[in-house]
Amino acid sequence: MYLRVEDIHNIIEKYAPSILKESYDNVGLMVGDMKSEVTSILIALDCTLEVIEEAKQNKCNLILTHHPLLFKRPDSVTTDTLTGRKIIELIRNNINLYSAHTNLDSVKGGINDIIMELLQLTCCHIIDPSEIKNYGEDHCGIGRISELKVPITLGELCDKVKNNLNISTLRYSGSESQIINKIAVINGSGESYFNSAKLLGVECIITGDTTYHYVSDFQEEGIAVIDAGHFETEWPAMRKIAEVLMQKIEFDGFCNTVILSKVNRSPYKYK
C-alpha cells in the first residue's frame, strides 16, 4: 500500500478541516498531484527556496507548510518573480506542496492550542469563535483566552514565554511588576484581534508581528503586549504537528518518513 498526496490531504482534513480557514486564506494542495505517490514528507513553516533545496537533498517529494505559497492566484508563473521561481522549481523536481494555515490555527488541538499547552495555559474562551454551523462553534476559532488561577507578573510571564518557547529574546510593553490575571494568545500575527481581546478583559496579549502604534495605544490603556515573534509563536507547534502526522501515518500502515526542516528559520536576526 502506497501513501499518496490524497492520503495526506485526508489526514489533514480530519485533523484541521479546510472549512475552518478564514475567508481570505488559501489552503490545501498548492502545487502537485493528489494521486502522486509520496516518498518522504518535509515539514516547514514556509516554502522558501532553501526549504525546496532541503526537500531535494532529503528525497522528499511532499512539503507540508503552515504558510501557503499562494495566497492569491498569480498573474503569471515565470522566473521573474520569487513565487514563480519556487513553483517552477517544485514542478521541475516533482515536489508536491500542501499548506494548512488558518484552519490549523483555528481547530481544537491546532497551533494556537499547542502554543497554549506549551505555555501551560488553559483555554477558557475563543477570541474569534468559528461560525461554521454544526462544527467547532464552541472550541474552534482564532485566538485563545486564559484566566489564571494564580496571578503572575508581566516580568515572570515574559520569562515563561522565553523558556517554554525556547527563544532568547522578545519584545514587550508594560511594567514588569504589572499583575496579570487574564491573557490572550494569538499565534503568528495577532494585531487584528487586539480590540476583540481587549473587550474580553485581557491584561496581556502574547503574539508576534506587532507594530508601534498598536502597542503604544494598548500600553496607554493598561494592556501589556508580549511580542515573541511570528516564527517563534508557530514553529514550536509545527514540531508537534510533525509528530501527530507521523503517528497517524504509522497507524494507517504506511512507512513514510516525516522530516522537520532544519533550514526554515525566522528571517530576523538580533545583535
Amino acid at 133: K
- The fold of the 5-104+235-260 domain, in CATH, is 3.40.1390
CATH class for the domain made up of 108-227: alpha beta
CA distance 50 to 86: 10
The pLDDT value recorded for residue 136 is 66
Indicate the domain borders of the chain: 5-104+235-260, 108-227
The pLDDT value recorded for residue 137 is 67
Beta bridge partners of 227: 171, 207
Q: Which residue ranges are tagged as binding site for a divalent metal cation?
A: 66-67, 105, 230, 234
Query: Are 121 and 184 a contacting pair, CB within 8 Å?
Result: no
Cell numbers describing residue 241:
504537528
The pLDDT value recorded for residue 161 is 98
CA distance 81 to 162: 36
Q: 73: Cβ–Cβ under 8 A, 6 or more apart, which residues? A: none
The pLDDT value recorded for residue 133 is 77
Local mean pLDDT, 10-residue blocks, the chain (271 residues): 94 96 96 97 98 98 97 89 97 98 97 97 94 79 96 98 96 98 97 97 98 97 98 97 96 95 94 81
Place of cell 503574539: 207
pTM of the model: 0.95
Nearest to 143 by CA among 98, 202, 229: 202
- Using a 10 angstrom Cβ sphere, with 0-12 exposed, 13-18 middle and 19 or more buried, the burial of residue 26 is middle
Nearest to 30 by CA among 57, 54, 3, 8: 8
Query: Are 149 and 203 a contacting pair, CB within 8 Å?
Result: no
CA distance 154 to 151: 10
Q: Is 243 helix (H, G, I), strand (E, B) or coil?
A: helix
The pLDDT value recorded for residue 72 is 83
The pLDDT value recorded for residue 271 is 81
CA distance 267 to 271: 14
Q: Which residue ranges are tagged as binding site?
A: 66-67, 105, 230, 234
The pLDDT value recorded for residue 170 is 96
Tell me whether domains 5-104+235-260 and 108-227 share a fold.
yes
The pLDDT value recorded for residue 110 is 97
Nearest to 206 by CA among 172, 168, 179: 172
